[in-house]
Structure 1
Amino acid sequence: MTEIAAAPAAVAGKHRARPTPIVPPANVAGRALLTVIAIMTFLASLTLGAVTLVADTAADWQSQIAREVTIQIRPDDGLDMADALGRIEALARATPGVTGAQTLDDAATARLLEPWLGSGLDLDDLPVPRLVIVSIDESSPPDFTALAAAVRASVPQASLDDHRAWVSRLVSMAHATVLIGVAILALVMVATILTVVFATRGAMSGNRHIIEVLHFVGARGTFIAAEFQRHFLRLGLLGALAGGVAALLVFLLIGRWTQANQATPEADQISALFGSFAIGWTGYGGVLFLIVLIGGLTAVTSRWTVTRQLAAIDMLSPVER
């Protein structure tokens, strides 16, 4: 807390009055503002981290379209599944633009079905389609139409799925989620600004007589505003730091939990949607920038509010004062 004399040296005469704080010392209102800023920063950091995760995942989905396609073989009476898988895999490997093909084995297929059908599946007793994963050369992809026709000609029960339809819908949903996150972030910022405005006005009301005396005896408005700015900058940085660190801890804990439970279906679903649930350096840098931004925004908003209030005092008549 910054303390100054009750009047500037030019007006104090032969002696200075006992230092009196312009801004009220830490009290219930100050602690409440710090808590509100911490909560706002926590929510804003969570939103920013979620937006980063969704944007990175959408980019991965789009990249996967260019890297990999799937050939599905549906079981049928009289179909030798092992022979069909071998023919499709050989056909895919021989196609220009394909860098590799691999049949999804029984263990991997059972793991994909485990969240819905449970563990201990015997695929020989179930009419489960089998998959061949085809890796694509991104710089020179194959002709998918020709490949799909060749697959159907070799095995009528087989079909090519390039995942473009559902991945396109997921990417569109991800982009919409990012826009919603940005809108929420903007609303949190507006709410923070309004909170600081009301807190600054309350602080001025609590010490109005000191502020008016200083102002009328010659203290510049910029000097008074600077005192409030330093006070609220400290509150803003402390609150923003607490909220930002709490949000980073949440992401770290969820990321650790995901890594520790990679073999479970729940973790697999989270990994499919959000990757490793790590926001990366971009996310950490964004949260740090958010902490500094909210601290600076708190200080600037407080200074602007004080300047406006002092201008309003100047416009009052002596009777109204």
Structure 2
Amino acid sequence: MSEGATLERAPRATPAADLPPTLRRNAPLVPTDTSAGRALAAVIAILTFLAALCAGGAEIVASSAAQWQGSVAQEVTIQVRPGPGRDTDADVATAAALAAATPGVAATRPFSKGESERLLEPWLGSGLDLGDLPVPRLITVRLGSGTPDLGSLRQRLAEALPGVASLDDHALWLSRLSTMANTVVGVGIAVVALVLLATGLAVTFATRGAMAGNREVVEVLHFVGADADFIAREFQRRFFRLGLRGGGIGAAAALGVIGLGGALARLWRAGPAGDEIEALFGGFAIGWRGYASVVLIGVIASVVTAVVSRLTVRRFLD
């Protein structure tokens, strides 16, 4: 061999450890531990978190409205209006006696003149002299477990105290309260549906990106005989894991926020604003149905991710 000759060595086989992760023997068709996969899982987690919060809030409103309706439905109110030449105290006593004699009535409580006037303070302010005003007197009637005949009570009040006493069964307030609660629940369901739709769109774009990035691998699989169902199942399996991870994180975060809100509500309950908070939101607890809804939303997000990815792959291959 001449002095200036150079020796050419045959290239050595590249060890499997030196290959890129996507070219190794057991590498998945759609790798999930990538920046794009982590970003998609984060998006699914955020959307699931928002949807779960909406579902939890709707459940809190629905349960609080049910408590309000139960409380309001257990009472009716008799209003006794003062009139010239009439003894208002005697009229109140007569109306209370008629209500107490009605079957199904558990208790009656006539309001005094001072108590009736204090009911107007939220609208008129305190410190006003209402002695010369014809402030109506109220009688709260608590209903028992039976079904009282309110129609008969209303008729007897009209006969005994015509134009003076009237019965209010709060049907208008119950109807408005039911409408408000149903509206809030409907808005919550609509928001959850929109969030799941946004999750499907995000998965669609992510699946198209993964298909474009693995076009050569997909073509080789087709060349060696892999059908579209096999490739779609691979994408579905990988994206289901991403959706399960993101949905689990989002649902767990929503449950943590709801639990934190309940703990804060219990702490504030001992303060001055505790009565108002409890009156509006109850115990700030969503119950088993609310927790089941949050978990179900996380599962639905995972299923939507898997189904949308499979449909997108099939449409891309076809």
> Shorter-normalised TM-score: what interval?
0.7 to 0.9
Identity among equivalent positions (%) equals 49
Q: Note the alpha carbon deviations across 1:256-286, whole angstroms, 9 max, x for none.
A: 3333334667544444444333211111111
Larger Rg: 2
Q: Which residue of 1 aligns with 2:296?
A: 289
Matches within 5 A, 1:59-208: 59-64=66-71, 66-72=73-79, 88-103=95-110, 131-137=138-144, 139-144=146-151, 146-147=153-154, 149-150=156-157, 153=160, 159-208=166-215
Residue 256 in structure 1 maps to residue 240 in structure 2: no
2:248 to 234, 241, 253: 241
1:302 aligns with 2:309: yes
One-letter amino acid of the counterpart of residue 246, structure 1 = A
Which residue of the other structure, out of 47, 56, 70, is the alignment partner of 1:49? Answer: 56
Choose which of 216, 238, 257 in structure 2 pairs with 1:231.
238
Q: Residue deviations 1:42-64, cap 9 Å, x none?
A: 12112222332333344444444
Check conservation: 1:148, 1:160, Cα contact below 8 A.
Answer: no
Tell me the matched-pair count.
Answer: 295
Tell me, yes or no, if the aligned pair for 1:84 and 1:155 is still in contact at 8 Å. Answer: no
User: 1:141 aligns to what SS in structure 2?
Assistant: coil
Distance 2:157 2:296 in 1: 53
Q: State how far apart, in whole Å, the 1-side matches of 2:268 and 2:32 are.
A: 49
From the superposition, tell whether residues 109 and 293 of structure 1 become closer, same or farther in structure 2 (CA, over 3 Å). farther
Contact in 1 for aligned 2:95/2:157 (Cα 8 Å):
no
TM-score by length of 1: 0.74
Do the aligned partners of 1:98 and 1:142 also contact (CA within 8 Å) in 2? no
Amino acid at match of 1:20: A
| Distance change (3 Å), C-alpha of 1:274 and 1:183 | same
Q: Which amino acid aligns with 1:192?
A: T
> Residue 227 of structure 2 aligns to which amino acid in structure 1?
R
Change (3 A) 1:181 1:27: same
Distance 1:106 1:276 in 2: 34
CA distance in 1, matches of 2:253, 2:121: 35
Cα 1:134–1:296, aligned 2, differ >3 Å: closer, same or farther?
Answer: same
Asked whether the 8 Å contact 1:37–1:236 carries over to 2, the reply is yes
Contact persistence 1:106–1:123 (CA under 8 A):
no
Measured in 2, the distance between the counterparts of 1:265 and 1:117 equals 23
When structure 1 is superposed on structure 2, of 186-195 and 133-142 the one drifting more is 133-142
Kept after mapping to 1: 8 A contact 2:207/2:309: yes
Displacement, 1:236?
0.8
Alpha-carbon shift at residue 81 of structure 1 (Å): 7.8
Whether 1:213 aligns to 2:220 is yes
Equivalents in 1 of 2:266, 2:85: separation in Å? 43
Residue segments in structure 1 that go unaligned for 5+ positions in a row: 1-5, 7-15, 312-321
